[in-house]
Structure formats: C-alpha cells, structure tokens
Chains A and B, each alone.
Chain A
C-alpha cells in the first residue's frame, strides 16, 4: 500500500465489489478468456500466447475470472488486487492459487519472478502507471511479456459528463492526460506517446498496440455505446516485452 490514491481506490473497490460482481458476473464469467468491455475472445486477439507452465501475475484480478481460466490452461497464477473484498470473491469463485492483497504501485514480489504480467481493465486503470510500469519491469523475467487492456485515451477525451458517455467529438484535453479524480475513485490514463516513452524508460520493447473493434453483435454490461466503439477505439491493449 503506498499512496492516498491507492487507499481511496481500495475503499472504493471494497465498497463496490459485491455490486460489481453481481452486475457483471454473467458477462465476464465466460468459460474462455475474453478481454474488456465487449468480452472479445483471447483466441481471436491472441494477446497472451501459450501460458502453460508459465509464472503469471494478474494485476487487479478482481474475482480472478481470468486467472482461474489461465490456471486451468496450465499457468502458475498469482492473483493480485487492491481490494480484499474482490479477493474474497476470487476465493468464492474457486481460485486455488495465491491471491495477494496490495497496491500495484508496490509489488510484493522478487525481481524477475514472472514470465507474464497482465491486466484487463484492472490495476492499469486504478494505479499510477508511472509507478506501476517500473514495478512490472522489475518483476518480469527476461523475455517476459507485459500485456494489459485499458480504456483508450481516445474514449477518455470524448467522454461527455453531460450524457455520462462517449460522444463523437473531442471534449477534454489530450495533452496532460494522467490522473483523473471524481467523486468515487482516482483513475489513470496516458497519451499514446507517453505510454511508449514509459515502456522504453523501463527497458521494455513495445511489441503491439491492439485497438480492438467489437463486432456488430457485441454486447456489454458496462453501458458503453457500441455505435461509437465500432468507429473509434474504445480500448487499447498494450504489449511490451522485457528483452
């Protein structure tokens, strides 16, 4: 646990966890790994590759829907979350691997202990990436992959508070994107160039930026506008590797 932002987001998620899992359980509890808002199949996006026999850390695992599936595929998973209540849901869901409580800003793991660190709209949204990415680079082994999904900077700057959603026009500044505080929580986002510089500073090679486009019949329980997401990237999946 480090910053007051992490404290605040912990309180937010402890308080929200039950409602969140109840609202999205069906959507995000699919029998195969799927990504993000529209639950796009990993088998189509091919982000993580073969996980069998790998040491895998999930940042902001929530109820560990992802890690439970990867463990079944032969990964040695560790689920990590800032909310004890979320980890309680992971236990209830049958996670049989270590579940570690903490903020991703300070990872309680030895250097070079994972082959894969990943996050699906988790800690990379709710913890400061300028602090988290160096930590991830530290705990990754050489050749290891860091992959995570976030809401895109594009969607971020097209967010209109008046309609509580994205609109087809730029609403807020792109330059200076970093920390956003509202009544509930603190969230983070960076311009694309800032992500690239951050990875490079931490010694990671930029391997891909997937901007997934949901299919016409995509559904979500998160209340986002599919029409918008079919035209502009609502999410980004970054892949960076430690050489």
Chain B
C-alpha cells in the first residue's frame, strides 16, 4: 500500500464510500467548524514533536506511539492533518482520511505551505475504501475516535491493519463526558449523566454534531471482539502549571489535574 501511495497524490474513492446518518451530520457540522480550525492549523503543523490532546503532552512523555519510521500509517479522521504531518516527519508513510472536504482543503493548503506531501482521502473512517491489511499503525486523535460509531470504525481499523499492527487513539475520558455540562460551561465535580448506557452524545445548544464515547468495559470488549489485544490505557493528567484552555466547555487545569480529561487507548491486532 505504502509504495502505491508514495507519490503523495490524493486518493480517489469517495464515490464508493457509504455514509451513515451521523457521518453526514458530522460532516455538515465540521464544514461549519472548518474555518476556525484552518486558523489554528499552522500552529499544529509547525510543532516539532508529536503531542497529544488539549494539554499538548508530548508523545516522548506518554510513549503512546510505536516507532513509526518506515511504517505505513493511517490517520482516521485527520482533520487538518497536523498529526499526519508529525508522523510523516518521523519517517512514516502516512495516509490521512477525513470525511469533511473543507478540512481536507485546509490540510492540502498546509501541505503546500509546509512543503510536506502525503496522500489525503475523503472518506468516513467507518468505511474506508482501502484494502485489508495495508497499514502497520492506525492513529486517531479526536477524529474517528469520537466522531465515528466505535462499533463501526474500530472493526474497520482492524481490517485496515496488518497482523501485529498498532491502533492508538485519543478520546475524552468517560469521567469528563459524564461531568460535561450541556451548555458551554466546563465540567465540574457533579456527575450529570449515567455511565451505564453511555454511547452517543449530542449538544443541543451548539450544533448538529454527534459524538460517541464508551465506558472502559465496553471499550475493552469492543477491542477484543474486533481482534485486538488491549495494550494500554494512558489516562492523561494536565501538566503542572497548565494554562486554562480557550474553549469554554473544556475542563479547567484544576479539574484535569485531579481527574483524567482525556485518555489514549493502545491496542495490537492479533495474528
């Protein structure tokens, strides 16, 4: 796969893609969000190391990624593709997949600006028009990992990975989702939702986007049922001295020092 994609050309195949209702909704929502993310994209692309999540914790500290040099890597829900760019700089042959054309447009603009090319593919991570067993590593950070149905995208990631391949993805922690307010205020200590049955989350005030979040037991069972061995769950603590985030609905540094706001799952495809 990697060699076939090495020319950096965008991949064709969107016509073959099927979109679920929530994928269509999220594509509409992300078309709206895209201009805001375009403004921020250069900052992500300029980073000289891979970091994870809203607190920007370096991967060198979390050690969530395997060695990606010379590996075929797919980023599922790449958005403006800043992670894909970082992975490319580490020597990976990366393909970025995203369902929102406006986000991919920003990614292409960044590729031109930073002189870093890799293939971009318009598709939902729930149905990726690429062959089985074509990647060594699949990565998602606030991409497919929260905007796609986990019962669809995780089996799809398993299909795309070679035996022994690594799946690494960042999501909001269940605790932060249960404490998340319905308005634009940050989570407090109160549990506002039930853990049992947690799955899809909508924000009526804001937009039509729909997120997906599973509890820990459900995620472990889904990974196992999809053919993965669970390797790690890195629950991210905001670093000491972390500055408040711009987005009003994000947890405060004080909250995220005490409780995990984000977590990274690491799993390996059996075989």
User: Could you list which residues of chain A lie within 8 angstroms of chain B, going by C-beta atoms?
Assistant: 154, 157-158, 168-171, 173-175, 191-193, 196-197, 200, 205-211, 213, 230-233, 236
Contacts and interface: CB of A to CB of B under 8 A. Distances in A.
The 6 closest A-B pairs by CB, nearest first: A193-B233, A209-B217, A170-B189, A206-B230, A193-B235, A211-B217
B220 interface: yes
B217 A170 contact: no
Contact of A174 (B178, B190, B229, B259): B259
Interface string B199-237: 000000000000000011100110010000111111101
Given A192-B216, A208-B221, A170 B191 contact: yes
Nearest to B257: A175
A229 B259 CA distance: 20
Chain A contact residues: helix, strand, loop or mixed:
mixed
A158 B231 contact: no
Nearest to A231: B194
B190 A175 contact: no
Given A208-B224, A211-B216, A157 B191 contact: no
Given A173-B258, A173-B259, A197 B232 contact: yes
Given A209-B216, A232-B194, A170 B231 contact: no
A231 B259 contact: no
Given A174-B259, A196-B233, A232 B195 contact: yes
Contacts of A207: 224
A210 B216 CA distance: 9
Interface string B60-92: 000000000000000000000000000000000
Given A196-B232, A233-B215, A174 B175 contact: yes
A206 B215 contact: no
B231 A175 contact: no
A233 B195 contact: yes
B237 A208 contact: no
Given A208-B221, A233-B195, A171 B189 contact: yes
Contacts of A211: 195-196, 215-217
A225 B179 CA distance: 20
B101 interface: no
Contacts of A205: 229
A170 B231 CA distance: 28
A208 B217 contact: yes
8 contacts: A170-B189, A173-B258, A193-B233, A197-B233, A206-B229, A211-B216, A213-B196, A232-B195
Contacts of B194: 231-232
A35 B184 CA distance: 41
A231 to B, nearest CB: 4
B237 A175 contact: yes
B44 interface: no
Given A157-B259, A175-B237, A231-B195, A169 B216 contact: no
Given A193-B233, A196-B233, 15 more contacts: A170-B179, A170-B191, A170-B259, A175-B259, A191-B260, A192-B235, A193-B234, A196-B230, A197-B233, A208-B224, A209-B217, A231-B194, A232-B195, A232-B196, A233-B217
A231 B229 CA distance: 28
Given A154-B195, A192-B216, A169 B189 contact: yes
Contacts of A192: 216, 233, 235
Contacts of B215: 211, 233
Interface in B98-153: none
A232 B194 CA distance: 6
